[in-house]
Structures are given as C-alpha cells and as structure tokens.
Structure 1
Amino acid sequence: MPLTMYRLSIPAFTRGFSALGGILDKAEAFASDTGIPLAELFEARLAPDMLPLAGQVQRASDTSKNAIARLTTLEAPRFPDDEQSFADLRGRIAKTVAFFESVKPADLEGSESREVTLNFTKLKVSFSGEDYLLKFVLPNFYFHVTTAYDILRHKGVPIGKPDYIGSLD
C-alpha cells in the first residue's frame, strides 16, 4: 500500500487520540484512588507560560482537524474551548475522531501539492501540503499529545511509554 497523505494523517491522529483518551482514563482513576482533586490534574501545567492539560487536548484537536480542512475542501468542526471536566475532554476527542471518520482517502488525494499559507503575528509562511503535514502539523500535534502525557506523568499518574505508544496491532 503506497504512503499517502491520508495514511500519514488520519490514522496518526486517530491513534494519538486513542492513546490520549486512555491516558485521561488512567488520570481519573489515579485521582479517585489517591484523593487528588480532578481539578488539580485538569489545570496542571509544566511551566507557568504553558497551557494546562485541557489546553493541550484542545490544541491537539484544533491542530489536527484544521489541518485536514486546510488540505481538503472539507470544513472542520468548530469547538469552543470551554471544557470543564475530563468527560468534556473525552467528548472533544470523540467529536474530533468522528470528524476524521468522515474523511475519505479521496478527500486528501493531491493535497501533497496544495499550497497552505499560515499567518502568524509577524510571519507569513507558505508550505506545500506535504511539507505542511510533515514539518508543521505532525510535530505540533505530537507536541501537544506528549505535553498532555508529560503533565499527567509529572503529577504522578502511573503511565508509561506503552500508554503513549498504544496498541501495536
């Protein structure tokens, strides 16, 4: 099977969110077992200028779903960043994955050469679709998933590399 933009994106995002959901489940169980308030985990951050756990999940969702929209003619669903609980975060993950389930391989055909332009505060950057996915989207997505993992690990949640990697089948 050839390597396609679909195979490089949708399965990676779906797998990442599956692992993230499992990590959130373990965090909730940890809080219940230890008596740590869920809010302490929900609002935890690695550094004062970094987003808390909820923000990491929100950015992973936004990065991935907006990338698919930019690479196709599909419209990404919009979610307000108003999650207040672990259940809300799992709901956001579920809605994001539901969007990915609606994407067909044909939707991404030819997107490797599609021009994608991002406007940052003082910088405008244009990419080919392939470079956008490989050099910006996937690193950004994994940064936020990894940071969510790191926040919970730092707070003592008993998770390890197999929780992050997920199933190998």
Structure 2
Amino acid sequence: MNTSPFDPCVWQLLHSLDRTTHLLRIAQRHLSAGGASLHSTLLAARLAPDMLHLAHQVEVLADAVVGSVALLAGADHVATGKVFNRGEDLLPYLHWRTLDDALDRVAIAQSEAQALATAAHWVQPDAVLTVRRPGNARQFVATVFAERYAVPNALFHLSMVYALLRANGVPIGKADFGGPDPYTLVH
C-alpha cells in the first residue's frame, strides 16, 4: 500500500472486512450441523423490523468499504458499482442461501479494496469528494469523509453483523469483534 494520511482509516476499513469474515466463519461452524435452512434463517435475521437483515448488513459493509477506499484512492466509485447507505428498497434481492455466499461476497470486497489501496494515487487530504446516491449527492472534505463517515459507517455495519449473530445464538465475544489484542501484557 502506498503511504498516505488515510492509512489508519484504510486499515480500519480493511480490518472491518477481516472481522466480518472471522464472525461469519464462527457462525458457519456453529450452524454446520443444521444445514442450509438455518443459514438462510440467520441471513434473514433483523434486530428490528425497520433495520436491514444480516445479508444486507454484510452487503452494505462490503460495498461501503470498497467504495470508501476507491474514493480515497482517487478511483471513480461509480465505476466500482458501489453506493453508500442504500435503503433496502434500493438493494437488489440477495440470493444468498448460506453463509458461504456471504463469505464469498466479503472475500471479493477484500480483494477489491486491497487492490485499490495497493494501486492508489491517494487524493489530497483537503480534496472534495462526492458520494452520489439516487436522487442526491453528498460532498465531503477527504479527511472528514475518511474519519467521520467511512470508518463510522463501516463500524456501524460490522457492529450490526456482530449483534445479529450474537442475538441469534452464535458464540462470539468482544475479542471476535476487535481481533487479537494490539498490546503486550507486562507485569
């Protein structure tokens, strides 16, 4: 990856996909004896009636990470097909039946985001970025976009994936969300 002022934010975005993969693999192992019907039930789970279900949380997270890295890397996010914060009515119907389908989607996003970060010609920190949505566009200063929109958005959807899995009996904990401790314990 080329060095940029966005490295901490891009790391967090990529890390959110890594943690999603980790959480989904635990869920997959947890449901392994139950078959595909349990997978589809879990993928359709919601925390509240007006919230996106698990499959859409994963899809939005994957798209948001790729789209965010694309914008920061100076690529045209429209060309990547990524749209931010889509409502469920704007999402294509996901034909996912198993957690393998969700894991495949995250793997594609990881590959795309990593490729964008590796080949990046990072935008300037004060560049104006435009996020186009159906019916409107939002403009951000690049550093504000990275720190106050892209990363919080990714962490929100990662949190929803965690909460949905946890609420549906998947045995996960805080360490599964955050990953290995970034410190060395000293006495």
Short-chain TM bin? 0.7 to 0.9
Q: Which residue of 2 aligns with 1:165?
A: 178
Shift of 1:111: 3.2
The alignment partner of 1:116 has SS state of strand
What does the per-residue CA deviation read over 1:41-68, in whole Å, with 9 as the maximum and x for residues that have no partner? 1110100111110100111111111112
Where structure 1 has 5 or more consecutive residues not aligned to the other structure, the ranges are none
Alignment partners' CA distance in 2, 1:73 and 1:123? 21
CA contact (8 A) 1:41 1:155 kept: yes
Shift of 1:124: 5.0
In structure 1, give the amino acid aligned to 2:122: E
Q: Which residue of 2 aligns with 1:93?
A: 106
- 1:31 counterpart = 2:31: yes
Q: Which residue of 2 aligns with 1:134?
A: 147
Q: Which residue of 2 aligns with 1:72?
A: 73
Alignment partners' CA distance in 1, 2:149 and 2:166? 25
Shift of 1:82: 3.0
TM-score (normalizing by structure 2): 0.77
Q: Which residue of 2 aligns with 1:11?
A: 11
CA contact (8 A) 2:19 2:179 kept: yes
The alignment partner of 1:112 has SS state of coil
Where structure 2 has 5 or more consecutive residues not aligned to the other structure, the ranges are 83-91, 183-187
CA contact (8 A) 1:54 1:83 kept: no
Shift of 1:34: 6.3
Shift of 1:71: 2.4
Alignment partners' CA distance in 1, 2:111 and 2:93? 18
Assess, with a 3 A threshold, how the Cα gap between structure 1 residues 81 and 129 changes in structure 2: closer, same or farther: farther
30-39 or 159-168, which moves further after superposition?
30-39
Alignment partners' CA distance in 2, 1:8 and 1:31? 34
Assess, with a 3 A threshold, how the Cα gap between structure 1 residues 3 and 74 changes in structure 2: closer, same or farther: closer
* Cα RMSD after superposing both structures: 2.7
Percent identity over the alignment? Answer: 25
Assess, with a 3 A threshold, how the Cα gap between structure 1 residues 104 and 46 changes in structure 2: closer, same or farther: closer
Q: Which residue of 1 aligns with 2:85?
A: none
Count matched residues.
167
Correspondence list, 1:30-69, <5 A: 30-33=30-33, 37-69=38-70
Alignment partners' CA distance in 2, 1:143 and 1:161? 15
Shift of 1:119: 5.1
Alignment partners' CA distance in 1, 2:141 and 2:163? 31
In structure 2, give the amino acid aligned to 1:87: D
Larger helix share, 1 or 2 = 1
Assess, with a 3 A threshold, how the Cα gap between structure 1 residues 67 and 150 changes in structure 2: closer, same or farther: same
Assess, with a 3 A threshold, how the Cα gap between structure 1 residues 102 and 131 changes in structure 2: closer, same or farther: same
